[in-house]
């Protein structure tokens, strides 16, 4: 079982025995360290995806790996039928870190989104007095919140939805970055309980809304007495140059409620980099008056809040502070967009670069269904840098946040010299 496979053989195995629910770039990775990954033949690549922003702290961060292996030797799983001596510590740590009263631990991002939906509905019936089964949650066009049957019910991605119905009712979709559309929905729809939003739409192609959009969403939620629910699974944990994207233009390493740019959510959903990519860890955070609607037996997960997850998440969050990852993401992100914009001035293949911190994307000047973006990613791979198209002609660039300035400049060189070959 432990013999080393060639890349070709590894791909053949996945192709034959694995469900074809992904279309990976043809590269087989067998090792990671910091901003780098190596393929089965030993070729080194810069990682410009970071497992969809799960690996913000860099691959195999020694402190996170050490926390994980130490805990794995001691106690891995108790279930929540009993207490364990790590979960309470982790909950206190995370609540103080993000500034909430309570946390509910889960494993994957989609599970945390499901959890937030359930809490929001229960809150609506028990605290807001909405009649049972009538609560609605407002979501946004082109959202991505995961893959469960309920979550895909309010997606407008055909691939994610088609032939997976019947769909879960209770969601109203409005245009993103359009406060008027949200205001209209809040006025006309009855029984709205909450608004679920990505502060920047990552999967949709790193779509960054206008600077005042989140403040307006939050203000409208307050005015209408509905919960403002932020899905920061991709944007959170320093990725966009602040601890959370809802922190706005603040690069302090903690949440700071004094900042007037901070649009504090009523519920915060985290996943991905909450574990530094070492382990599936997700969570919902909220204050007591919201979280207390959940009572014993009403929600749970066998693995949620297990001791390994607790140890890994605490260390992963500590690393974000100790290594100033938010600040680094902000500085390198500004530099990246500056360099890319300089290239784009004389380019007829790249239309624009957009993003915040180290969550960025370039839009290729071609039709949505052309394979130019894919071919560019294959060429980037040949040149030692791994990125993946999202939605046809958009390429997301999201390296681990532990990157240095020199490494980033080398990557800009790889990207621009590769793009030059595709100029028309």
Q: Is 7 helix (H, G, I), strand (E, B) or coil?
A: helix
Rounded (10°) CA dihedral 60, 66, 70, 71: -60
Q: What's the length of the chain?
A: 424
Residue 323 in contact with ligand PLP, rule: CB under 6 A = no
Q: Choosing from 39, 47, 231, 266, which is the catalytic residue? A: 231
Residue 105 in contact with ligand PLP, rule: CB under 6 A = no
Residue 155 in contact with ligand PLP, rule: CB under 6 A = no
Residue 100 in contact with ligand PLP, rule: CB under 6 A = no
If the CB atoms of residues 186 and 233 are measured against ligand PLP, the closer one turns out to be 233
């809150």: which residue's tokens? Answer: 123
If the CB atoms of residues 52 and 397 are measured against ligand PLP, the closer one turns out to be 52
If the CB atoms of residues 39 and 231 are measured against ligand PLP, the closer one turns out to be 231
Contacts of 14 (CB under 8 A, 6+ apart): 24
Residue 52 in contact with ligand PLP, rule: CB under 6 A = yes
Residue 145 in contact with ligand PLP, rule: CB under 6 A = yes
The encoded tokens of residue 297 equal: 């037996």
User: Residue count at the site for ligand PLP (CB under 6 A)?
Assistant: 15
Contacts of 419 (CB under 8 A, 6+ apart): 343, 347, 349, 350, 376
If the CB atoms of residues 32 and 146 are measured against ligand PLP, the closer one turns out to be 146
Residue 357 in contact with ligand PLP, rule: CB under 6 A = no
The encoded tokens of residue 395 equal: 């390429």
DSSP state of 28: -
Among 231, 266, 315, 323, contact with ligand PLP (rule: CB under 6 A)? 231
Q: Choosing from 272, 356, 381, 388, which is the catalytic residue? A: 272
**Is 89 noted as a catalytic residue in this protein?**
no
The encoded tokens of residue 119 equal: 């809490």
State how far the alpha carbon of 274 is from the alpha carbons of 76, 145, 182, 303, in Å.
18, 16, 30, 15
CB-based contact 318:243 (threshold 8 Å): no
Residue 236 in contact with ligand PLP, rule: CB under 6 A = no
Candidate ranges 41-49, 160-168, 228-236, 249-257; the one touching ligand PLP (CB under 6 A): 228-236
Site residues (vs ligand PLP, CB under 6 A): 52, 108-110, 113, 144-146, 198, 202-203, 231, 233-234, 271
């Amino acid at each position: 079982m432990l013999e080393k496979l060639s890349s070709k053989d590894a791909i053949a195995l996945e192709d034959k025995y694995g469900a074809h629910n992904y279309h990976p770039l043809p590269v087989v990775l067998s090792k990671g360290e910091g901003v780098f990954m190596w393929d089965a033949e030993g070729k080194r690549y810069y990682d410009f995806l970071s497992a969809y922003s799960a690996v913000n702290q860099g691959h195999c961060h020694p402190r996170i790996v050490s926390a994980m292996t130490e805990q794995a030797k001691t106690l891995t799983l108790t279930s929540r039928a009993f207490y364990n001596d790590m979960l309470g510590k982790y909950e206190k740590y995370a609540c103080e870190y993000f500034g909430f009263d309570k946390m509910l631990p889960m494993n994957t991002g989609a599970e945390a989104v499901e959890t937030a939906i359930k809490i929001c509905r229960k809150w609506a019936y028990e605290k807001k007095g909405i009649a049972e089964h009538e609560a609605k949650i407002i979501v946004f066009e082109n959202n991505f919140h995961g893959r469960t049957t309920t979550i895909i019910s309010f997606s407008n991605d055909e691939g994610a939805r088609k032939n997976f119905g019947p769909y879960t009712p209770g969601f109203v979709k409005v245009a993103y970055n359009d406060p008027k559309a949200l205001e209209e929905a809040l006025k006309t729809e009855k029984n709205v309980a909450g608004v679920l939003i990505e502060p920047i739409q990552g999967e949709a192609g790193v779509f960054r809304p206008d600077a005042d959009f989140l403040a307006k969403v939050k203000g409208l939620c307050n005015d209408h007495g509905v919960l403002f629910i932020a899905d920061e699974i991709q944007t959170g944990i320093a990725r966009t140059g602040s601890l959370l994207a809802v922190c706005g233009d603040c690069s302090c390493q903690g949440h700071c409620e004094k900042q007037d740019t901070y649009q504090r959510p009523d519920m915060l959903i985290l996943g991905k980099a909450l574990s530094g990519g070492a382990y599936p860890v997700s969570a919902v955070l909220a204050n007591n008056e919201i979280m207390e609607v959940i009572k014993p037996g009403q929600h749970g997960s066998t693995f949620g809040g297990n001791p390994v997850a607790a140890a890994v998440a605490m260390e992963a969050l500590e690393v974000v502070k100790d290594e100033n990852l938010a600040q680094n993401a902000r500085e390198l992100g500004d530099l990246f967009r500056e360099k890319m914009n300089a290239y784009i001035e004389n380019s007829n293949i790249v239309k624009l670069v957009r993003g915040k911190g180290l969550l960025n994307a370039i839009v290729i000047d071609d039709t949505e269904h052309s394979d130019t973006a894919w071919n560019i990613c294959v060429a980037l791979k040949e040149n030692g840098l791994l990125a993946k198209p999202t939605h046809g002609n958009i390429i997301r660039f999201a390296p681990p946040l532990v990157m240095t300035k020199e490494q980033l400049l080398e990557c800009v060189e790889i990207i621009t010299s590769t793009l030059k070959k595709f100029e028309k």
